[in-house]
Structure 1
Amino acid sequence: MEKVKVTREQADAIDFAINGPSDLLYHNNPDELLSGCAKDWEFGGQLEALNSMSIVTIAKALYIGYEIEGFKVGDWVVITTGVNKDFNQTKKITDIQKSFASGHSVVYQLNSEGAYYDNEIRYATPEEIEAEKNRRRWATIGRNVNEYKVGDIVTTGSLTRPIESIENHLILEHLGEYSNEEVFMVCPVEQRLDMVNES
């Protein structure tokens, strides 16, 4: 039979339950752990990750074995530790290398910089990924997200117009007021060929 895939947190919980302190009820006793799961016990502390596993998955993990789901190149992750500027930032894994640090088999390089271990990152949510992609799109033109300028060409989805002025809202030529979230950039003013001064 094939081993089941579990998260790092689930693997740590299983390991703690079976190989943890000798006074723990489940120590070296997978039958007792499975029995607790069958009784729908609510686990807490270092065993909390077991609550998200089905009894079938736990049984297979205990008696057949398990593999830890790992990150791969191209995965979007969020940095969960540290106090530097990267904390809570969404980044992409660009390289995975063997780690020589005790307790870590691999080290992940994010955005071709920095080195992080699997316990320092988590998978990014779809919303976090989309927000980071949007931030990167705007950064390519040297702006913050939704930083529009007079002269930018934007679309409402059905109509495309240049921005005439910016006050509390964007004023579009012949269309009136729109919020930043109601329009999408088509062409920044700096890249408009019709705005180039001929010398």
Structure 2
Amino acid sequence: MNSRKVVYLFFTSLLIGSISGAIVGLALDWSVYTAEGAMNFLFGLIWLLGISAAFSIISQMGFFAYLTVHRLGLGLFKTAKLWNKVQVVVIAFVIFDLIYLRYLAFAQEGETVFHYVLMPVLLLIYGLIVAYFKAKDTNQGAFIPALFFIVVVTTIEWVPALTVNDPKWLWIYFAPLLAANTWQLLILHRLTGNQAK
């Protein structure tokens, strides 16, 4: 992978993350951004694009960190099969923690643990879909690493918003992370020309 491809990956991920975060931010607070005229909308849009760009850069750092961790995991566990089993266990722990720990930290009177199930389950389903397409484009060995990246790495990157637990910020932070992570994962093998990625 040459420097031109790295630059392409960086800027396309930045653009996709920025636009997706801005769209979600506008959708969540449309009346706020349109209430006081065109200048308010313009400055609000610029702010959303900027904050979403920052989140997409976090996504890119997570992506390259995962590529390093993946190689270390393959070396440490000697076989991809064993490393995949470890990743499946970590995925299960992360989904459980997204449900139960958020319930312990933020549950209000009358809420049950089931109020905290929807978001992690949707993330898992989305991860399964993305992993399916990654494996279809490359090979079956890419399925578990792709699922791990979408579920676990995205969750780690999402932690600052999760600790605040403000629904608006959960989604404004989550949209650029998920969009940029998906893009990076699905474009990498095309940039490197390596179907085994």
Q: Judge same fold: TM > 0.5, yes or no.
A: no
Greater Rg by CA: 1
Q: Which category describes the TM-score, using the shorter chain as reference length?
A: under 0.3
Q: Higher helix share goes to which structure?
A: 2
Q: Higher strand share goes to which structure?
A: 1
